Amino acid sequence: MNVGHDLGLLALLSNASLLVKLVIMILLGMSIVSWWHMIRKLASFRETLHHADEFEKVFSGTTDFEALYRKVSATKIRGASTERIFEAGFREFTRQNKRSNGVLSPAQWDRIRRVMRAGYQKEMTRLESNLSFLATVSSVSPYIGLFGTVWGIMNSFRGLAAVSQASLSSVAPGIAEALVATAMGLFAAIPAVIGFNHLLRKLEGLSNVMESFMEEVSDALQSGPAGDR
Percent of the chain having pLDDT more than 70?
A: 82
Phi-psi region of 177 (alpha: psi -120 to 50; beta: other; left: phi over 0): alpha
Look at residue 2 in the predicted model and tell me its pLDDT. Answer: 42
Mean pLDDT in residue range 32-57:
92
Mean per-residue pLDDT over the chain, rounded: 83
Residue 178 has pLDDT above 80, yes or no: no
- The C-alpha atoms of residue 228 and residue 20 are separated, in whole angstroms, by 70
**All structural domains of the chain with their residue ranges:** 12-228
Confidence of residue 228 (pLDDT cuts 50, 70, 90): very low
26/228: higher pLDDT: 26
Length of the chain: 229
Alpha helix segments (H runs only) across the chain: 3-6, 9-15, 18-61, 65-74, 82-100, 106-128, 131-162, 168-223
Residue 218 has pLDDT above 70, yes or no: yes
Asked if 141 and 188 touch (Cβ cutoff 8 Å), the reply is: yes
Look at residue 3 in the predicted model and tell me its pLDDT. Answer: 42
Mean pLDDT in residue range 206-220:
91
Mean pLDDT in residue range 190-208:
94
Confidence of residue 13 (pLDDT cuts 50, 70, 90): low
Give residues with Cβ within 8 angstroms of 49, minimum separation 6. Answer: 205, 206, 209
Residue 17 has pLDDT above 80, yes or no: no
Q: Is the four-CA dihedral 199, 200, 203, 205 of positive or negative sign?
A: negative
Cβ burial, residue 210 (10 Å; 0-12/13-18/19+): buried
Mean pLDDT in residue range 24-49:
92
- The C-alpha atoms of residue 33 and residue 133 are separated, in whole angstroms, by 9
Q: Whose CA is closest to 156, among 181, 183, 186?
A: 181
- The C-alpha atoms of residue 228 and residue 221 are separated, in whole angstroms, by 8
Could you tell me the pTM of the whole model?
Answer: 0.79
